[in-house]
């Protein structure tokens, strides 16, 4: 019989702690948060003629991330019973009983409070209040009022998800000019085709959960048509940064190319539906938004 080493004794505790941290991390919906933070950082870099102060960028990014994570944690708490009914979400920490509601409330309160303090103390009050308003808009207005009550939940509630570039811009300049809101408009128009593509191939999940998503209430055919129409509008909106001379020809070419691909997905989805194509459209929409905002940044510095 071999003697246990210190490492052997500590491993279960370390695994337990790592597992717990993984569950808390899952509450923040990292993939969604990362895209939002990326758009906020792009807003920071577009807001000033020169490179913004890196310390301010880091502090603002951390503060916005903390409040975003808190909003997603509150959303998970409110929707825990809905999540338990859906294949896509039933493995989240709350439906599985990995975390208790009080643990989630404490976690969200700590993250949200720390984020507000960082933004107010080291960035500016405008950014703190705009980020807090985004928190309220998503965690409460969208989750409690819109999502369970109207098929236009994604359209109306999309404003909260569109705010990151405005937050980033405000963090660097203590202002939110028209250019920042134009970036928000792009995300606002992008949100419906992005989420409706998901709702199409997760239709049974939304039916079981009793959520009035557009394909549940108005059918798959109308949803596919809406995706196509919104995608056309999106391509038009993405040309506006070039029109107002916020961006140059490099961005315009990128926007038109990326948009043409998105329209291609939407058109095929409209003509002949399959779950596989809806999933591919949803996946491309994420790549599309990240690439579009990256093109804005590249255009500025070349």
Is it the case that residue 2 has pLDDT exceeding 60?
Answer: no
Give the integer Cα–Cα distance in Å for 103 and 110. Answer: 11
Q: Flag the least confident range among 3-7, 143-147, 150-154.
A: 3-7
Is it the case that residue 8 has pLDDT exceeding 60?
Answer: no
Give the integer Cα–Cα distance in Å for 224 and 270. Answer: 5
Asked whether the beta carbons of 127 and 164 are under 8 A apart, the reply is no
When pLDDT is cut at 50, 70 and 90, the band that residue 298 belongs to is: very high
> Which domains are seen in the chain, by residue range?
12-176 (1.10.357.140), 177-302 (1.20.120)
Is it the case that residue 283 has pLDDT exceeding 60?
Answer: yes
pLDDT at position 132: 97
DSSP code string of 57-122: HHHHHHHHHHHHHHHHHHHHHHTHHHHTT-TTTTTSHHHHTSS-HHHHHHHHHHHHHHHHHHIIII
Q: What is the pLDDT of residues 105-119, one digit of tens each?
A: 999 999 999 999 999
**Measured between alpha carbons, how far is residue 50 from residues 64, 216, 228, 240 in Å?**
22, 48, 38, 22
Q: Flag the least confident range among 43-47, 150-154, 229-233, 265-269.
A: 150-154
pLDDT at position 13: 64
When pLDDT is cut at 50, 70 and 90, the band that residue 17 belongs to is: confident
Give the integer Cα–Cα distance in Å for 137 and 160. Answer: 6
Give the integer Cα–Cα distance in Å for 48 and 35. Answer: 21
pLDDT at position 20: 87
**What percent of the chain has a predicted confidence (pLDDT) above 70?**
95
The string over 67-77, giving b where at least 16 C-beta atoms fall within 10 Å of a residue's C-beta and e elsewhere, is: bbbbbbbbbbb
Residue 172 token pair: 């660097």
**What percent of the chain has a predicted confidence (pLDDT) above 90?**
83
Q: What is the pLDDT of residues 167-218, one digit of tens each?
A: 999 999 999 999 999 999 999 999 999 999 999 999 999 999 899 999 999 9
């Amino acid at each position: 019989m071999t003697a246990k080493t210190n490492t052997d004794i500590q491993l279960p505790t370390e695994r337990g702690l790592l597992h717990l941290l993984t569950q808390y991390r899952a509450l923040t919906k990292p993939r969604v948060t990362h895209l939002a933070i990326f758009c906020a950082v792009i807003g920071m870099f577009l807001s000033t003629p020169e490179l913004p102060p890196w310390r301010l960028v880091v502090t603002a990014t951390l503060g916005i991330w903390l409040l975003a994570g808190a909003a997603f944690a509150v959303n998970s708490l409110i929707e825990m019973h809905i999540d338990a009914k859906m294949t896509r979400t039933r493995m989240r920490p709350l439906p599985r009983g990995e975390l208790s509601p009080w643990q989630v409330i404490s976690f969200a309160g700590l993250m949200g409070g720390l984020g507000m303090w960082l933004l107010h103390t080291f960035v500016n009050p405008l950014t703190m209040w705009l980020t807090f308003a985004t928190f309220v808009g998503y965690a409460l207005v969208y989750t409690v009022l819109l999502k369970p009550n109207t098929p236009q939940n994604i359209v109306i509630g999309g404003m909260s998800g569109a705010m990151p570039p405005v937050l980033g811009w405000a963090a660097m300049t203590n202002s939110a000019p028209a250019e920042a809101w134009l970036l928000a408009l792009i995300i606002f128009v992008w949100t419906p085709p992005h989420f409706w593509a998901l709702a199409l191939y997760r239709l049974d999940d939304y039916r079981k959960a009793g959520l009035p998503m557009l394909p549940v209430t108005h059918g798959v055919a109308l949803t596919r048509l809406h995706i196509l129409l919104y995608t056309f509008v999106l391509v038009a909106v993405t040309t506006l940064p070039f029109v107002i001379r916020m961006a140059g020809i490099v961005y315009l070419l990128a926007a038109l190319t990326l948009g043409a691909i998105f329209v291609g997905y939407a058109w095929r989805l409209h003509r002949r539906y399959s779950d596989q194509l809806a999933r591919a459209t949803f996946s491309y929409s994420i790549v599309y938004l990240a690439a579009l905002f990256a093109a804005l940044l590249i255009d500025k510095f070349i």
